[in-house]
Structures are given as structure tokens and as C-alpha cells.
Amino acid sequence: MRLNEDVIIEGSKCILVPYTKDLVEQYHSWFVADPELLDATGSELLTIEEEYENQESWRTDESKLTFLIRDKTTSEQMLCGDINCFFSDFEKDQFVDCEESSPDGLVGEINIMIAEKASRRKGIAEEALEIFTQYMQKNIVNLRVLVAKIQMKNKASIRLFEKMGYVEFKRVECFEEIHYVLKLDPSCF
């Protein structure tokens, strides 16, 4: 979406910056260098042309919000990963046993990647999730809940999201995924 195209969010360990065209090659190179990232983030390897189209889609599609992450602890504040959210209609009966099924607000599917191994275990993912969530709570109207879809074998991500207060919501055995939720507006549940 265009909401954040001029927005920079600064924390103590990382800086969230808009995903602009000039950063596409760097973003693409992470997946080429480490195909495990594709698996962990549920992505597929794109050609560089497709990656440019993807960047444009993240910039303009009103259901998508993304930032790249800079590691503030390095002298050149190097790019180290990304954080993003995909929005869809919140329907209460997806989350609680009830009759209601009419859309009432939004669900955000959140994803984070610290691609640079040298930037891991510094608390960057934790801080990025905190400041990104605060930004969404201020700027995305009627955001009811965040969902993280994590592979059962991805212990690092499970520990991270549990630490951030997400709770297990369901297991999807056929995809070997656990879905974690963070309810932002408890009055809706």
C-alpha cells in the first residue's frame, strides 16, 4: 500500500524503511543465496523481473504493507530482512465458535525474515515486530487480529512469536503449519 511509501520507523536496534525499487536486487539475492529462506517464509523463488513486479505490487496493493529492515547495530546500517502484513476481512466465526459470519474489520497475516545471519539473535526481529505492530495499530483502521503461519519445524520463529504474546490457534497438519494469533481488539472476540 502507499500508506508507508515515505515512512521510516526507527527503533534502537533496527530501522524500518519502505521497500523501494532500488532495494529489489538486494532482496532477491537473499533468496538466491539461501533457499531455506523460501521454505521458512512460504515463498517461491522469483526471477528478478518477477521480483520487480512483486515490489510494485507491495507498494500499490492496498491489502499489503511491507518494510525492509536495516540493522542499526552495523556501521553502514545494512539491510538485513523484511517484515510484512497481508490484510483480509475479519470474520468472527473464523476465530470463535459463533453464528456471525459478516466481515467486521481486518485480519493481518504477518511475516518476518531476518535474512542476514550476522543480524540474527540481536533482538532485531523482536523489535521490528513491536514497532511494526504499533504502526499498524495507529494506522490501519479496524485491525482486529494478527495471524502468523509458522512451520512446525521452525522452532526459532515459534519461540519468537510466543515471546511476543501470540498464542497457538490451530494446526494445519497437511501444510505442517501452526497458526498463531495475537488479538489486538479483545472486545471483538
Ligand X SMILES: CC(C)(COP(=O)(O)OP(=O)(O)OC[C@H]1O[C@@H](n2cnc3c(N)ncnc32)[C@H](O)[C@@H]1OP(=O)(O)O)[C@@H](O)C(=O)NCCC(=O)NCCS
Is 113 or 143 the residue whose CB approaches ligand X more closely? 113
d(CA 154, CA 151): 5
CB of 31 to ligand X, least distance (A): 11
Q: What are phi and psi of 56, to 5 degrees?
A: -65, -40
Is 8 or 118 the residue whose CB approaches ligand X more closely? 118
β-pairing verdict for 106-114 and 143-151: parallel
Is 92 or 148 the residue whose CB approaches ligand X more closely? 148
Q: Which three cell numbers stand for residue 16?
A: 524500518
Q: Which three cell numbers stand for residue 54?
A: 512483486
In the block, cell 552495523 appears at 74
d(CA 137, CA 22): 28
Q: Under the rule (CB under 6 A), what is the footprint of ligand X? A: 37, 40-41, 81, 111-114, 120-126, 148, 150, 154-157, 159-160, 163
CB of 100 to ligand X, least distance (A): 29
Is 43 or 101 the residue whose CB approaches ligand X more closely? 43
CB 16 within 8 A of CB 69: yes
Is 92 or 116 the residue whose CB approaches ligand X more closely? 116
CB 67 within 8 A of CB 150: no
CB of 120 to ligand X, least distance (A): 3
Apex 3 CA angle, 31 and 104, nearest 5: 100
CB 8 within 8 A of CB 16: yes
CB of 187 to ligand X, least distance (A): 27
CB of 126 to ligand X, least distance (A): 4
